[in-house]
Homo-oligomer: A and B are copies of this chain.
């Protein structure tokens, strides 16, 4: 399906799992525009992507044909690298440069704009592939400063993000954390976090600003390891934007484009850290009752998730529980929605599965956001990817009700409420999936969910489980 939110999100998922850039083919400004929302997310995930954007033939541009737009101005919104090819001879060089650039640091978005005539004129040449700059090394001075801080006896949190959430890095961080009063944290929206049984466990910084402020309030020092200094997702009246305490010292061990792993390794050597550390053990929790609430759904997934699964979380309000429940699941990769632009979960799951065809992907997907790129289901059927979609139908944009209440903007009117409501008419995801070529079932009890989820873990191919969620959102999230 050439619906571009699918291809850009899939390219993001592909990079996260494979760390090779996928190429998107977008057509003119509007084609690029259709892919923008997930390019925003990809940029926030620091994913390497190469966009090839076709533009009108050079001589045609000035005539302002209907599809004409300022393609460069579109691309500038997300691209770290932009190159307009100069001729069909130049096209291959432009492509090689873009591919090399996309692999710099933790990943970059590189865009090549191609006037149509460069694609059909016939003097194209092939160009050698180019080296990328890769990661920048962290200075010894910075590592020493962090080492000194870690030995200061202060209450310290190491906030891990980007590539620091890969197993090899969390392992070193786990060893370092035993050297003092050091807590390991995970950024709220991780591009890819290798976690679960046998790996080092990290606590995630909460999504809601007030909870995050409370969570971080005891720390004297925050050490950033591939992560950014945490800020509120949104601003709220009378809530500060920076979440760490005002008096908290913030040090950076490694920025996202720096060689996090080698910096951690040097730090561990400098500190003479122990060779081993505690790992997460397997935890299986029983669902409580037969109600399909987020905690019970999470418990079933945690129990049945196969080893080395990929778990994409766009569960929005339902996703908060899933993180906790799956702490002690079999080891897996956790992929978050990174830029807050909803409609990323299904495409990222598609791309992740194309990158790792031998691993089961579980796409934990809220209904409202799932609708943004529902076309992904068709592409999943076409590519026969091994993705189980756990589609959480709560008939609403529940998060919007939550955020509205948090603004304390007074009691919402019926009109306001109706804008967040998806129950008139209710979406029937089983029919939707069928229309797009994906098998699907609807479940209403924990027992039904367990049965269907268990079966889908045993077979291959795309499958959607529509989970009718019972959820009182008014409880947990109000301020």
Contacts and interface: CB of A to CB of B under 8 A. Distances in A.
A37 B33 contact: yes
Contacts of A436: 425, 427-428, 432
Interface string A424-437: 11111111111111
A117 interface: yes
A77 B66 contact: no
Contact of A340 (B30, B77, B233, B338): B30
A242 B36 contact: no
Contacts of A255: none
A475 interface: no
A138 B185 CA distance: 68
B37 A66 contact: no
Nearest to A243: B63
Contact of A338 (B66, B368, B419): B66
Interface in A193-210: none
A270 interface: no
Contact of A73 (B73, B232, B427, B437): B73
A405 interface: no
Nearest to A407: B120
A155 interface: no
A60 interface: yes
B233 A65 contact: yes
A473 interface: no
Given A378-B425, A434-B431, A60 B234 contact: yes
Interface string A333-355: 00000111101000000000000
Contacts of A435: 427-435
Contact-size category for A: 35 or more
A80 to B, nearest CB: 14
Contacts of A77: 29, 33, 69-70, 73-74
A43 B148 CA distance: 59
Interface stretch (A260-268, A287-295, A306-314, A369-377): A369-377
A38 B351 CA distance: 26
A33 B36 contact: yes
A360 interface: no
Contacts of A425: 378, 381-382, 436-437
Contacts of A69: 40, 77
Interface in A317-343: 338-341, 343
A427 B433 CA distance: 10
B375 A374 contact: yes
A429 to B, nearest CB: 7
B341 A56 contact: no
A116 interface: yes
Interface string A415-428: 00001001011111
A253 to B, nearest CB: 20
A231 B65 contact: yes
A252 interface: no
Given A1-B371, A378-B425, A64 B231 contact: yes
A34 interface: yes
Interface in A366-404: 368, 371-372, 374-375, 378, 381-382, 397
Contact of A56 (B5, B28, B29, B235): B235
A463 interface: no
Contacts of A381: 425
A189 interface: yes
B235 A57 contact: yes
A67 interface: yes
23 contacts: A2-B368, A2-B419, A29-B77, A30-B36, A30-B339, A30-B340, A33-B40, A34-B343, A36-B36, A40-B69, A57-B235, A60-B241, A63-B241, A65-B233, A65-B234, A66-B339, A66-B340, A73-B76, A73-B77, A426-B437, A427-B435, A427-B436, A428-B437
